[in-house]
Chain A
Amino acid sequence: QSALTQPASVSGSPGQSITISCTGTSSDVGGYKYVSWYQQHPGKAPKLMIYEVSKGPSGVPDRFSGSKSGDTASLTISGLRAEDEADYYCSSYMSSSIVVFGGGTKLTVL
């Protein structure tokens, strides 16, 4: 049950856009539409930001968007704000009836 691959860190300035990648295989990210993204601030519980690759839950700003190409999913945050600084995790269903998370990406807003 290998974790999905995410960059350890990304950074951007306020107002800019950043993209976080999440790479898996055809057995998980590439094979299913069930990719989600979570935001976690220090000491807090994770929060769902994107589900089914590109759908945003009610209450999540539309600055957050998701996409997928092949075995790689991506989370894009446009118009970066200071409060977006957090850890971000992707997750996916895997064919062996399990769920797998990415290792997490620390976003720094410069």
Chain B
Amino acid sequence: EVQVLESGGGLVQPGGSLRLACAASGFTFYNYAMNWVRQAPGKGLEWVSSISGSGGSTYYADSVKGRFTVSRDNSKNTLFLQMNSLRAEDTAIYYCAKGGLWFGESLFDSWGQGTLVTVSS
């Protein structure tokens, strides 16, 4: 059974940093793109970032480019999202989602339960 489990959320002050992790199991991790999608309170889904199976290609939404960095450790089946210079508008539930063989398939077929990030003073 495919499972992804996020961790690392919490309360952080504006301008601060946070690192999210996503532990994956039940599939050949290095074969698949992995993704971060967020959802602000009461709002819709927003794609944040994706990374290829090898980790060699990364992609970001304009709203986070230059502030967030996605990475993965294929030896530990774990995905990361380093978030710097956090803003109030980054407050959201952050979901980790398994992708297809290529990130552009826009195919998020297994989701975690999400981890809440709150940016507030």
Where the two chains meet, the residues of A that have a C-beta atom closer than 8 Å to any C-beta of B are 1, 3, 32, 34-36, 38, 40, 45-48, 51-52, 57, 87, 89, 91-93, 97-104
Q: A34-B104, A35-B106, A46-B95 are in contact. Are A101 and B111 (CB under 8 A)?
A: no
| A35-B106, A36-B106, A46-B45 known, 6 other contacts, Cβ within 8 Å | A1-B62, A32-B104, A34-B104, A89-B45, A93-B105, A99-B47
9 contacting pairs across A/B (C-beta < 8 A)? A35-B106, A91-B106, A92-B106, A97-B59, A98-B62, A99-B35, A99-B59, A99-B106, A101-B37
Size of the B side of the interface (Cβ < 8 Å), in residues, is 25
Cβ contacts under 8 Å, A46 to chain B: 37, 45, 95, 108, 111
Tell me how far the C-beta of B54 lies from the nearest C-beta in chain A, rounded to whole angstroms: 16
Is B44 part of the binding interface, using a Cβ–Cβ cutoff of 8 Å?
Answer: yes
Q: A45-B113, A98-B61 are in contact. Are A93 and B44 (CB under 8 A)?
A: no
Interface residues of B in 62-121 (CB under 8 A from A): 62-63, 95, 100, 103-109, 111-114
Q: C-beta contact mask, B24-65 vs A, less than 8 Å → 1, else 0?
A: 000000000001010000001111001000000001111100
Q: Is the CB of A98 within 8 A of B47?
A: yes
Q: A1-B62, A45-B114, A48-B109 are in contact. Are A99 and B44 (CB under 8 A)?
A: no
Per DSSP, chain A at the interface is: strand
* Closest Cβ neighbor of A55 among chain B residues: B107
Q: Is the CB of A45 within 8 A of B44?
A: no
How many Å lie between the Cα of A93 and that of B59 in the bound state? 12
Cβ contacts under 8 Å, A98 to chain B: 47, 59-62
Q: Is the CB of B107 within 8 A of A36?
A: yes
Q: Is the CB of A103 within 8 A of B108?
A: no
Q: Is the CB of A99 within 8 A of B114?
A: no
Tell me how far the C-beta of A91 lies from the nearest C-beta in chain B, rounded to whole angstroms: 5
* Closest Cβ neighbor of B46 among chain A residues: A101
